């Protein structure tokens, strides 16, 4: 069982996945900083100086001057401003991942295309017009000999 676990861990895709998770975590921190420190302050300024991360709905019935005070008092609150920041984080990460994956797919398609000077991989049988491999010497459909 230990041998099987070792084989599983040392497989290429598991290591690649682990690297992806680690890089993804670091990328998430960068995006969170981008949203909280770069994007949200100008949006807050445009909306009259609102700090989205401090927006909340107080469910306790008591009055508190800020989210920090409400949390300090242990009041039940809905932190919808933090939720908005998280949604923006997600949208930026999703957009960045879309760009990365679409560029990788474009590169993959570019390198998978056959070279224009390459010989075709298939040909037509002159008797039955079926598509057969270019190197075939006998048609698999009509059994005719090909030259």
Report whether 66 contacts 54 (CB < 8 A).
Answer: yes
Instruction: Summarize pLDDT for 65-100 with one digit per residue, the tens.
Output: 999 999 999 999 999 999 988 888 888 888 888 888
Separate counts of helices (H) and strands (E) for the chain: 5, 4
Instruction: Summarize pLDDT for 37-62 with one digit per residue, the tens.
Output: 888 888 888 888 777 888 899 998 89
For the question of whether the overall pTM of this predicted structure is more than 0.85, the answer is no
What residue ranges do the domains of the chain occupy? 11-113, 118-147
DSSP of 85-118 = HHHHHHHHHHHHHHHHHHHHHHHHHHHHSPPTTS
Which one of 1.10.287.3240, 3.40.50.410, 1.10.1200.120, 1.20.120.1200 gives the CATH number of domain 11-113? Answer: 1.10.1200.120
Under DSSP, the state recorded for 143 is -
Give the chain's mean pLDDT: 85
Under DSSP, the state recorded for 119 is P
């Amino acid at each position: 069982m230990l041998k099987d676990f070792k084989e599983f861990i040392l497989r290429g895709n598991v290591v690649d996945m682990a690297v992806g998770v680690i890089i993804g975590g670091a990328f998430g921190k960068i995006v969170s900083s981008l949203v909280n420190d770069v994007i949200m302050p100008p949006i807050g300024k445009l909306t009259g100086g609102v700090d989205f991360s401090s927006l909340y709905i107080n469910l306790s019935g008591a009055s508190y001057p800020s989210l920090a005070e409400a949390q300090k008092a242990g009041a039940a609150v809905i932190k919808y401003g933090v939720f908005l920041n998280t949604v923006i984080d997600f949208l930026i990460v999703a957009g960045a991942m879309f760009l990365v994956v679409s560029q990788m797919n474009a590169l993959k398609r570019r390198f998978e295309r056959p070279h224009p000077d390459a010989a075709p991989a298939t040909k037509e049988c002159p008797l039955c017009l079926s598509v057969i491999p270019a190197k075939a010497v006998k048609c698999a459909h009509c059994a005719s000999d090909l030259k």
